A and B are shown apart, each in its own frame.
Chain A
Amino acid sequence: MNFTLKIWRQKNATDKGGLVTYNVENISPDSSFFEMLDVLNQQLIAKGEDPVSFDHDCREGICGTCSLYINGRPHGPLKGTTTCQLHMRSFRNGETIFVEPWRCGAFPVIKDLIVDRSAFDKIIQAGGYVSVNSGGIPDANTIPVPKSDADASFDAAACIGCGACVASCPNASAMLFVSAKVSHLALLPQGRVEAERRVQNMVAAMDSLGFGNCSNTYACEAECPKEITVANIARMNREFLAAKLFAEKEKQISFSL
């Protein structure tokens, strides 16, 4: 298969950048999108040009490192799929393919198609964890969890933190990601303990980093490679409102010597 590629090239964070057109030929329909880019990069290296930089790691859809906004959709045209799991058979022979980095003020471009997603790490640092060691593996059923909660928590925990939700959102909102993290912990007994504090701190971190506000377009749900649902966003809103309105004041203990 042959393709015309229009790829965003940007030397560094301060460069203005722009789309550059490339052609690749004789690509197997069964090669992955990244293998196709590898072919392109070999051509560029052979010509002594700078290869296209893009993020990838596991190449098996589990790490959340890969990105790419392909023809107006994060992770390309396939539903529930990361870019590393996308194959060229999903495109038409001769098609022109636009490849851009995630666009969000909180995800600045580092080079070409690579963006800095450490804003997500900052949100996690604000509360996306359980503070105490939850111990060894308990005997089965010592901590009962309702089946529906276990399922919903597990589904939310599938979020790989790729940022496609932000990339697809017309408002560059991070609500789907944050709600997945909040839900996955809030639904389990070990996470429930800090749930009120967590949701407030994570939302505050999200707001301070410059992501947009959710306007319920649900583009995130349509593009999430792990098919995280917007029901998580409603759950987070519930948790947040309940915490803001009804959380008891924490006793402040001051130490003096």
Chain B
Amino acid sequence: MDSSTRKRLSSITSKVIMALAGLFLVVFLVVHLGINLLLLADDGGRAFSAAAEFMGTNPVIRVFEVVLFGGFLLHMAFGVMVSFQNRASRPVRYQHKNRSETSPLSRYMFHSGIIVFIFLVLHFIDYYFIKIGLVAPPAGIAPHDFYHRSLVLFANKGYSGVYLISFLFLGFHLNHAVQAAFQTIGLNHSKYMDAIKVGSTLYAIVVAGGFMVIPFWFILFR
């Protein structure tokens, strides 16, 4: 190994870090979805607010919030780095569009990732920055009142539209991502790989679909 090969983190190591950070986010999404679905309870937001309160104050969760941000940052930083290296590896491109059969939308992971990232920025401005006091909450809503904040946002058709599109792309991203993460960390087995692929798709449908139910619910029933 000469010095030029040692400077760069190995491609496999980079991807394993990305995959592990991604799998952590996959677990986080389930927790977040579980709490969001409490918005649908017909209790004037009591259950949802209690959950938000718990997430906002429990010390274990506070620590995990830092881990979570770290996970997002790692996943995005490595995603961008790997994508740029990938583009650079084919300086002269083909004239004819590639027609090789690939895992659905797997070649657009960077693009779907960017859309999810944009949503994440909006989400931060709408919730997190208000919570930590960086952004003033809209009139009449307390900084910690996520329930009414959500009602106001989902009442806005434009916001709901952006939200729906973002989660559609998150679904595409997850459909490929979950099974790909298993493959990257080496968990490909002749007996289980088909189940992992089906599980990946089911997970994507349940999570993306679960989040998307919320604006529809607000549009139809509130």
Interface residues of A (CB under 8 A from B): 6, 8, 19, 69, 71-74, 98, 100, 103-106, 109, 168, 170-173, 201, 203-208, 210-219, 222-223, 230-231, 233-241, 244
Contacts and interface: CB of A to CB of B under 8 A. Distances in A.
Nearest to A219: B100
A74 B94 CA distance: 11
B101 interface: yes
Given A219-B100, A231-B188, A100 B94 contact: yes
Contacts of B88: 105, 210, 212
Contacts of B92: 103, 109
B187 A234 contact: yes
A215 B1 contact: no
B100 to A, nearest CB: 4
Given A219-B98, A222-B100, A230 B10 contact: no
Interface of B: 1-2, 4-6, 8, 10-16, 82, 85-86, 88-103, 106-107, 109, 176, 179-180, 183-188, 190, 193
Contacts of A234: 183-184, 186-188
Given A207-B8, A216-B176, 12 more contacts: A72-B94, A73-B98, A172-B86, A173-B86, A204-B5, A206-B11, A207-B11, A208-B5, A217-B103, A219-B101, A236-B12, A241-B12
Nearest to B8: A207
Given A173-B89, A212-B89, A212-B90, A241 B185 contact: yes
A215 B12 contact: no
B95 A19 contact: yes
Contacts of B11: 173, 203, 206-207, 213-214
B102 A222 contact: yes
A214 B107 CA distance: 11
Given A72-B98, A168-B100, A215 B106 contact: yes
Contacts of B8: 207-208
Contacts of B6: 204
A240 B10 contact: yes
20 contacts: A69-B94, A69-B96, A72-B96, A72-B99, A172-B89, A172-B90, A207-B10, A208-B4, A215-B82, A216-B179, A216-B184, A217-B103, A219-B100, A219-B101, A222-B102, A234-B183, A236-B12, A237-B184, A237-B186, A241-B12
